[in-house]
Amino acid sequence: MSKIPVILIFDVGKTNKKLLLFDQQYKVLLEESIQLGEIADEDGYPCENLKVLSDWLLKAYRQWINSDVYEVKAVNFSAYGASLVLMDENKQPCLPLYNYLKPFPADLQQLLYQSYGGGGQFALETASPELGSLNAGLQLYRLSKQRAAKFQKVKHALHLPQFLGFLLSNQLCTDITSIGCHTALWNFNTNNYHDWVAKEGIAEKLLPMYSSDSCAISKQSNIPIGIGLHDSSAALIPYLKTITDPFVLVSTGTWCISLNPFNQQPLTASELKQDCLFYFSYQGKPVKASRLFAGHEHDLQVKRLMEFFYVDGNCHPFIKYNGAIVEKLHLNSHAQNEDYNPHQFIFSSRNLESFKDFEEAYHQLMLDIAEMQVKSIELIIQHTSISNIYVDGGFSTNHIYMQLLANHFSSYKVFAATVPQASAMGAAVAIHDHWNQLSLPSDLIGCIQISPI
C-alpha cells in the first residue's frame, strides 16, 4: 500500500503547540496539540522553554518522516510573533526567549524615542503603537543597554518562525511577515530597516531576508523545509489565494486581530493610539490591522463567571444567541464609553449580582466584547470598499459573537470559517509549488454565512 503524501506543519502558539498533516487537497488528516510548561528568565519572568519546544519539534519531525502511513513531502511553520531567539557564534541559543508580555522599562523606551524623533513620530514610521516588549526590536535594544556583555555574545537574532525552520534546515534567515509584525525594526515609509537598527548595533545581528515562500532542503530527509511565517500573516494566505472580492479577516484567539489587505492608507496618530498597525502579507504588501486582547479577556471573565455561578465545566460553547436576553440587556445596560480604548474591557467592572444566571451574564460578556470588536473592525474598514468579513479561530464557533457581528454589519456579508486552522493551512499553501503538483483547490476555506436577525 502506497503512503499518503502530506505536508507537515508546526503551528506554534503561545499557549498551544500543534502539528498538523495536510493532504494534497489541504484537508487535515491529523492534528495533535500540546502545552509546554514555561521557565523563568534572568529576572524571574516567565518565558518559553526553548529546549523543550525544540525537543518536541525534532522528536515529532523524526516520528512523521518515518511514518508507515504518510509520506511527508515538505515541512513548514507558523508561529507567534514578537519573539526572538538569540544565538551565539556556534548557532546555539545563548539567552532566554524573552516573553513579549514582560514589562519594558519606561525610561529606556523614552531614551530610544527621544533619540529618533519622539514616540509619536517613531510609532508612525514603524507603523506600530508603543507596545514595549511586544515591539520585538526593543527587546534587543534593552539587552544592548542593560546587559551589554550578553548582547555582544549574540551573533544571530532569529524571529521564532525562522528558528523553527532552522532546527530542521540549519538555514539562518528572516522573512518579511516576521519583520513586519510590530517589531519596530522596519520603517514603512522608506520600506527598509529603520535608522535606529543600524545606529544601535542591531542590524549586524539580523539575518538575510528570504521570500516567505522559500524553502531549504533538509539534509536529513532531503525534503523542502519552509522558512516559517508569522501566524497572523499566514492566516491570510488561504483567503488571498481564493477570494477575489475585497474582505477583512478577523483572526480570533488570545488576540483578535482584524486584517484588511485592501487598506494601505497611512496610519494616523489616532489609529495608533487605538492599537492599529501594519503587518506584511506574505507577498510583502502592507496590511492594515487592529488588535484586541479579546480572547484573553473572554477566558478570564468566563472563569470569573463559573466561580460566581458555581457552574462546572465549559458550558459556554453551547450557549446560543438569545434575542430576548440581548434586548433585555440593551434596555438595562449602560453603553460603553464613546472614546474607544482597546485595553479597557467594561465587563471586568460589572456587578455579577445584577444578572439572573450564568447564561444572562455570559450574553452581557459577549455583548461587551462584540461592541469592542465592532469598533476595532471599523477602524480598518473605513476608506475601503470591503464587502465581506470573515472570522476564523476560536470565536468563529461562538454563536453569540458571530450573531452580534452579523447584526451590526448588516450591510456586509459576515462569514464564520468552518475550518479554524488558517495559520497552519496558510503555511502549507505558502510553499505549495515546492511539494504539491496538483492545482490549488478553490475550496480552501469553507464558510457559513451568518445572516442578521
What is the reported pTM? 0.88
Whole-number pLDDT of residue 334: 61
Rounded to an integer, what distance in angstroms lies between the CA atom of residue 8 and that of residue 225?
10
Whole-number pLDDT of residue 130: 92
Supply the DSSP symbol for 82. Answer: S
Domains in the chain, start-ordered, CATH in brackets?
Answer: 4-227 (3.30.420.40), 231-453 (3.30.420.40)
Phi, psi of 257 (to 5 degrees): -115, 120
pLDDT in tens, the chain (453 residues): 799 999 999 999 998 999 999 999 999 999 999 999 999 999 999 999 999 999 999 999 999 999 999 999 999 999 999 999 999 999 999 999 999 999 999 999 999 999 999 999 999 999 999 999 999 999 999 999 999 999 999 999 999 999 999 999 999 999 999 999 899 999 999 999 999 999 999 999 999 999 999 999 887 889 999 999 999 899 899 999 999 899 999 988 888 999 999 998 999 999 999 999 999 999 999 999 999 999 999 999 999 999 999 998 778 888 999 999 999 998 887 655 567 898 899 999 999 999 999 999 999 999 999 999 999 999 999 889 999 999 988 899 999 999 999 999 999 999 998 766 889 999 999 999 999 999 999 889 989 999 999
Task: DSSP for 89-140, please give it.
Answer: TTS-B-S-B--TTS---HHHHHHHHHHTT-HHHHHHHHTS---GGGSHHHHH
Whole-number pLDDT of residue 338: 64
Whole-number pLDDT of residue 283: 92
Rounded to an integer, what distance in angstroms lies between the CA atom of residue 252 and that of residue 136?
21
- The residue assigned the cell 458555581 is 310
Which cell goes with 126?
A: 514603524
Instruction: Judge whether 9 and 77 are in contact, CB under 8 Å.
Output: yes
Three-state secondary structure call for residue 160: helix
Whole-number pLDDT of residue 181: 87
